[in-house]
Structure 1
Amino acid sequence: MSDFLLEPDVIFLNHGSFGACPRPVFEEYQRWQTRLERQPVRFLARELPEVLANARSEVAHYLGAQPTEVVFVPNPTFAANTIARCLPLGPGEEVLMTDHEYGACRFAFQFAAQQKGFRVVEQPIRLPVESNDSIVEAFWQGVTPNTKLIFISQITSATALTLPVAQICARAREAGILTMIDGAHAPGQIDVNLAEIGADFYTATCHKWMCAPKGSGIFHVREDRQHLIEPLVVGWGWGKEKTFHRENEFLEYHEWLGTHDPSAFLTVPTAIAWQREQMTLEVRQRARDLVRTAVDSASQIDGIERVHADPFFCQMGLIDLTALQIEPDALKSRLYDTYKIEAPVIRWQERTFVRISAHAYTTQQHIESLILALREIAG
């Protein structure tokens, strides 16, 4: 697809890591940067509050939330640190997550646990999974009277598994347990409605599957939970002499982190418009079909196995190369150096996975090239 700036000689099957920004979105990003540099004081001090509020309103509407419940953040790692540092968690209390969670966010809670004395519990979810109900039941085995917060991904990074987050949030609400969802891989890959998910806290990237510029993410906090969240970075939005006045304290505390380039945030509405125009249901389904073809074809090769059944993956799929006994870094280097294939090789629970992503620019030839490379490597 000509909209993307990707190098044409690379088979890019790793949209899941950092995304890829389409040309129209990138050009809008540069337009905002130019506008900022032409008159920085006017832009940051006088114009930014209104244009940022407009962008926040658009992304909130896109995700099924209220504008006063959403702030822009650089990435989900930032939001996870905010929750881990701010929630009043202490000795004897527990944060429950799966053993599939993204490393940086997991580390944020482990670091805070060392400081505050609470425990981080990683509940195993065995692969392959059988049903959403089986996932919920397996995960709920980790809940104890000490569980105060559940932190789980909507789509896991390491294993590309779609988790039934709405079911888990509903059950947690009945038990009086707070919930935070890491939706880094969800918006733009699947439809997201935060009101229906019902999490207390939700974070996501805009620069992955939404195709916005790098460094754009959102942090959603339900209005009745906002009093729990203190700013991770204290700046001009906090004190009596606050420079920026917003609709409520949550926005004042968290929206202005000091001088930075907000252009990535302001470009998100353009990325949303591009999504609606270009990433139609047919285009998404084609990408999913390509991933399914890749997984099905790869699993026919001796030493390679599929991991998930169709309902549990979308535009990211997983194949298991553990039986080939190849060191992950060596495998990743060979895929790129020999075949010009950019795909992550992941080590998880003593297993070696290759994660395959497909987007609008992915072609059948890309998948065929991957399968040919895997056959040669396995041979």
Structure 2
Amino acid sequence: MPDFLLDPDVVFLNHGSFGACPRQVFDEYQRWQRELERQPVRFLQRELPGLLADARLQVAHYLGARPTEIVFVPNPTFAANEIARSLPMGPGDEVLMTDHEYGACRFAFQFAAQQKGFRVVEQAIPLPVESNEAIVDTFWQGVTEHTKLIFISQITSPTALTLPVAQICQRAKEAGILTMVDGAHAPGQIDVHLGDLGADFYTATCHKWLCAPKGSGIFYVREDRQSLVEPLVVGWGWGPNKTFHRENEFLEHHEWLGTYDPAAYLAVPAAIAWQKKTMTDEVRHRSQDLARAAVAMAAEIEGIERVHPDSFFRQMGLIDVTAKYVDADMLKSRLYDEYRIEAPVVRWKDRIFVRVSTHAYTRQDHIETLVRALQEI
């Protein structure tokens, strides 16, 4: 399988969970690890500040933000916890999200709500959706005078739905409501320009669709909102004897949280370079076509239904198998054990979906294998 290290004996249709790292990017990741081990003190104390600054600059350029607005974090769950615990919210305040949000991030806000007394409101977005305008109007029904923060995914994890977050952020700005966008599935799958998006806070993984090493993510906080954010982990960057001596407190608080392996962060620019060279419009459109083919072909099986019109999903498609009364765990196990297909089977409310993720390495025969397996099961 060119470029990727994936097992060629597995039909890998689950890029959306953890991504897959191209060989060139993984080599760069290991190169940074070797550099660290050659002289750890020199690397961590003297070289790392400049290396992180350069990596942030490249990420900021790629995502349309200022370098002082972005820090590296392990994943969006980390960033969601930081916002949930930082913002001055208490009894009478509300955080509004959809009922399509990623479980770990939802739990972060629910946990903080128990500690601080605010309320988490989940506004239902019924499927199938009809239009972006209908999504915005339906979501806005959950807004009240108590809404202090909107937390919403750019592309939802359980339902692979692309949401009109720019419109929601604009409407929230007009209403004086803060916004945080979970872009875990966005960079690398769709174009992202944070300056145009209008969110106050944004987080994303780099190890999913951007194809960077595991454990690399970004946390964006608009410069005029950085005073609202407290560090989730207090380390040397907080006290008077700072490690990196940044003028920007947001960067200082996040760039030295204790000893860690920064290689995944430093390899993100290599992933961006690989994206620009390899994931051309032609390759991305081909991947989208394969996802849409999987949905269309599966829908020809009696009892299996489509969920979204093509315009609402990209390289992740949903196959609704609810009417087949299948057990989700059994289906996932059989797909892998009998057919060597790695694809998530998602429980969402009272429905069961097979989520299909396609990428540059996906082939037509992979899709045919999945459809044949669903027919037989």
* Same fold per superposition (TM over 0.5): yes
- The aligned counterpart of 2:343 is 343
- The aligned counterpart of 1:116 is 116
In structure 1, distance between residues paired with 2:63 and 2:256: 22
- The aligned counterpart of 1:102 is 102
Give the Å deviation of 1:39: 0.2
Give the Å deviation of 1:246: 1.7
Give the Å deviation of 1:33: 0.1
In structure 1, distance between residues paired with 2:240 and 2:10: 53
Q: Which amino acid aligns with 1:180?
A: M
Structure 1: gaps spanning 5 or more residues = none
In structure 1, distance between residues paired with 2:184 and 2:255: 19
2:249 paired with 1:249: yes
Q: Which amino acid aligns with 1:69?
A: E
Give the Å deviation of 1:243: 1.6
- The aligned counterpart of 1:149 is 149
Give the Å deviation of 1:191: 0.3
- The aligned counterpart of 1:87 is 87
- The aligned counterpart of 1:258 is 258
In structure 1, distance between residues paired with 2:368 and 2:243: 56
Give the Å deviation of 1:127: 0.2
Give the Å deviation of 1:132: 0.2
- The aligned counterpart of 1:230 is 230
In structure 1, distance between residues paired with 2:214 and 2:304: 33
Pairs within 5 Å for 1:162-311: 162-311=162-311
Aligned residues: 377
Would the aligned equivalents of 1:74 and 1:216 in 2 still touch at CA under 8 Å?
A: yes
Superposed CA deviations along residues 147-199 of structure 1, whole A, max 9, x for unmatched, are: 00000000000000000000000000000000000000000000000011100
Superposed CA deviations along residues 114-151 of structure 1, whole A, max 9, x for unmatched, are: 00000000000000000000000000000000000000
SS of 1:152's equivalent in the other structure is strand
Superposed CA deviations along residues 188-237 of structure 1, whole A, max 9, x for unmatched, are: 00000001110000000000000000000000000000000011100111
In structure 2, distance between residues paired with 1:363 and 1:154: 27
Range 248-257 or range 132-141, more displaced: 248-257
Would the aligned equivalents of 1:68 and 1:247 in 2 still touch at CA under 8 Å?
A: no
In structure 2, distance between residues paired with 1:327 and 1:256: 45
Superposed CA deviations along residues 85-108 of structure 1, whole A, max 9, x for unmatched, are: 000010000000000000000000
- The aligned counterpart of 2:24 is 24
Give the Å deviation of 1:289: 0.2
Q: Percent identity?
A: 77
Superposed CA deviations along residues 283-338 of structure 1, whole A, max 9, x for unmatched, are: 00000000010000001101100000011000000010001101100000000001
In structure 1, distance between residues paired with 2:112 and 2:324: 38
Give the Å deviation of 1:79: 0.1
Superposed CA deviations along residues 49-107 of structure 1, whole A, max 9, x for unmatched, are: 00110001100100000000000000000000000000001000000000000000000
In structure 2, distance between residues paired with 1:237 and 1:189: 34
Segments of 4+ in structure 1 off by > 3 A? none
Two-structure CA RMSD over aligned residues (Å): 0.5
Give the Å deviation of 1:247: 3.6
TM-score by length of 2: 1.00
SS of 1:150's equivalent in the other structure is strand
Q: Which amino acid aligns with 2:268?
A: V
SS of 1:163's equivalent in the other structure is coil
Q: Which amino acid aligns with 2:165?
A: V
Would the aligned equivalents of 2:29 and 2:263 in 1 still touch at CA under 8 Å?
A: yes
- The aligned counterpart of 1:127 is 127
